[in-house]
C-alpha cells in the first residue's frame, strides 16, 4: 500500500472508531455471525480516483478520432462488455456443457455430506470462513473423499491479519486457518501455502508456506521450484482478481495430477463470464464446474448480510 493509501486507511479507521453508526453495524454483523467480521470489509467500497481513461486503459480505448468524453464512455463500455462478449463467443465455439449449480447440490451421497461436515468443523475450529460464510465445505468434502490417497495440496492465500494487505482477514483473522484444517483432514498429505505477506508465513507439522505474488507469473516459477511437481488440489484463495486467478490457472494446468482438482474461490457474480470463458478454453481433459455459494452482500455503507448466491467458485478436474 502506498503512504497516501496508508494514511487514508488510518483516517478511515479513526472515523470508524468514532462513528457510532459503524460501530453498531459492526456489532450487528458480529452478533449475527458469531465471529469478528473482517474489519476491512467495511472499507474499500467508497472513493473516487481521477484518471485519464483513454491513456490508462489503452487495451480498451477506441483507436479513433473524437472528443475525450465520448472516447472515455466507449472505454468504460468496452471494459464492462468485452469479457462477457468473449465468453459468449467462446461458449458458442465450445462443445463443453457447463451448468451453474448451487454448491449445496454438489454432494451426491451421504458419505460426501459426512466428509463435508467433518471439514466444516475443522474450518470453524481453526477460524477459516470457508464453511460458515461460503459453504465451500460442500465442495471440498466430496472432492477430498479419497482422503488417504491425497498426497499434496497447495493453497494460495495463507490468510493475513495485517490490514495493510489486500484481501486480509481483518485483525481477528487467523493466518494458516484453512491450511491447518486441510492438514488435519488429510492425514497423509503435505500441505503447502503461498502468500504475498511474508510476515505471516510459517512452518509446522506437514505444513510449509512460501512467498508468492500471484499477479506475477515469475513468482510462480520460484514457488514451483519449492513444491512437488504434481499436486492433488490447488486452491486459489488469494487476491481474488481475475488476472491473478488466471496466473494460478496457468500454473495449475502444469501441476495437477490426473484425477486432481483446481479450485478458484470467491468469484464475484459479475465475473462469472470470465470463468465461462476459462471453462470453454480449458484443455479437453479437464471437466469444469461453476458453483454458486453464499457470501456477504453490501446493503449500504457499513451494513452487510449473508446471501446464498453472493459468490461463485470455479472448480476443474483433470481426468486424464
Ligand X SMILES: C[S@@+](CC[C@H](N)C(=O)[O-])C[C@H]1O[C@@H](n2cnc3c(N)ncnc32)[C@H](O)[C@@H]1O
Which contiguous run of DSSP H or E holds residue 298? strand 286-300
CB 317 within 8 A of CB 260: yes
> Does the protein bind ligand X through residue 276 (CB under 6 A)?
no
Stretch that binds ligand X, among 39-47, 104-112, 210-218, 299-307 (CB under 6 A): 210-218
Stretch that binds ligand X, among 13-21, 75-83, 211-219, 308-316 (CB under 6 A): 211-219
User: Cβ of residue 126: shortest distance to ligand X, in angstroms?
Assistant: 7
CA distance 128 to 130: 5
Neighbours of 69 (CB within 10 A): 9
Which residue lies nearer to ligand X by CB, 139 or 244?
A: 244
When binding is defined by CB under 6 A, the residue of 132, 160, 248, 292 that contacts ligand X is: 160
Which residue lies nearer to ligand X by CB, 239 or 315?
A: 239
216 backbone dihedrals φ, ψ, rounded to 5°? -120, 115
User: Cβ of residue 165: shortest distance to ligand X, in angstroms?
Assistant: 4
> Does the protein bind ligand X through residue 40 (CB under 6 A)?
no
> Does the protein bind ligand X through residue 169 (CB under 6 A)?
yes
Compute how many residues bind ligand X; rule: CB under 6 A. Answer: 26
> Does the protein bind ligand X through residue 39 (CB under 6 A)?
no
When binding is defined by CB under 6 A, the residue of 155, 232, 236, 276 that contacts ligand X is: 155
> Does the protein bind ligand X through residue 121 (CB under 6 A)?
no
Which contiguous run of DSSP H or E holds residue 284? none
Which contiguous run of DSSP H or E holds residue 72? helix 68-93
Residue 267 C-alpha cell reads as 468469484
Which residue lies nearer to ligand X by CB, 75 or 248?
A: 248
Which residue lies nearer to ligand X by CB, 1 or 24?
A: 1
> Does the protein bind ligand X through residue 130 (CB under 6 A)?
yes
CA distance 6 to 131: 31
When binding is defined by CB under 6 A, the residue of 196, 256, 264, 290 that contacts ligand X is: 196
Q: CA–CA distance from 114 to each of 40, 109, 140, 255 (Å)?
A: 34, 9, 11, 29
For β-strands 256-267 and 207-211, DSSP reports them as unpaired
> Does the protein bind ligand X through residue 212 (CB under 6 A)?
yes
CA distance 76 to 79: 5
CA distance 208 to 202: 7
Q: Which positions touch ligand X (CB under 6 A)?
A: 128, 130, 155-160, 165-169, 177-178, 195-197, 212-215, 237-239, 244
Amino acid at each position: 500500500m502506498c503512504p497516501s493509501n496508508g494514511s487514508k486507511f488510518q483516517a478511515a479507521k479513526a472515523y470508524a472508531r468514532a462513528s457510532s453508526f459503524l460501530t453498531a453495524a459492526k456489532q450487528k454483523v458480529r452478533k449475527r455471525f458469531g465471529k469478528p467480521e473482517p474489519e476491512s470489509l467495511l472499507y474499500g467500497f467508497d472513493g473516487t480516483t481521477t484518471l485519464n481513461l483513454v491513456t490508462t486503459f489503452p487495451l480498451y480505448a477506441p483507436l479513433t478520432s473524437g472528443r475525450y468524453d465520448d472516447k472515455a464512455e466507449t472505454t468504460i463500455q468496452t471494459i464492462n462488455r468485452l469479457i462477457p462478449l468473449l465468453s459468449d463467443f467462446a461458449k458458442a465455439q465450445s462443445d463443453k456443457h457447463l451448468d451453474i449449480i448451487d454448491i449445496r447440490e454438489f454432494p451426491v451421497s451421504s458419505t460426501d455430506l459426512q466428509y463435508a461436515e467433518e471439514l466444516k468443523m475443522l474450518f470453524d475450529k481453526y477460524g477459516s470462513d470457508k464453511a460458515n460464510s461460503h459453504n465451500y465445505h460442500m465442495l471440498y468434502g466430496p472432492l477430498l473423499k479419497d482422503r488417504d490417497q491425497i498426497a499434496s495440496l497447495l493453497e494460495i492465500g495463507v490468510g493475513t491479519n495485517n490490514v495493510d494487505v489486500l484481501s486480509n482477514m481483518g485483525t481477528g483473522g487467523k493466518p494458516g486457518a484453512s491450511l491447518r484444517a486441510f492438514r488435519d483432514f488429510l492425514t497423509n498429505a503435505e500441505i503447502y501455502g503461498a502468500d504475498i505477506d511474508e510476515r505471516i508465513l510459517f512452518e509446522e507439522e506437514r505444513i510449509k508456506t512460501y512467498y508468492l505474488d500471484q499477479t506475477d507469473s515469475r513468482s510462480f516459477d520460484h514457488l514451483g521450484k519449492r513444491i512437488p511437481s504434481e499436486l492433488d488440489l490447488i486452491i486459489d484463495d488469494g487476491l481474488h482478481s481475475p488476472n491473478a486467478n488466471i496466473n494460478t490457472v496457468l500454473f495449475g494446468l502444469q501441476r495437477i495430477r490426473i484425477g486432481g482438482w483446481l479450485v478458484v474461490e470467491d468469484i464475484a457474480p459479475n465475473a462469472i463470464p470470465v470463468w465461462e470463458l476459462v471453462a470453454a478454453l480449458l484443455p479437453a481433459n479437464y471437466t469444469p464446474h461453476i458453483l454458486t455459494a453464499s457470501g456477504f452482500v453490501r446493503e449500504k455503507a457499513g451494513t452487510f448480510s449473508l446471501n446464498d448466491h453472493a459468490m461463485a467458485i470455479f472448480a476443474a478436474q483433470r481426468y486424464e
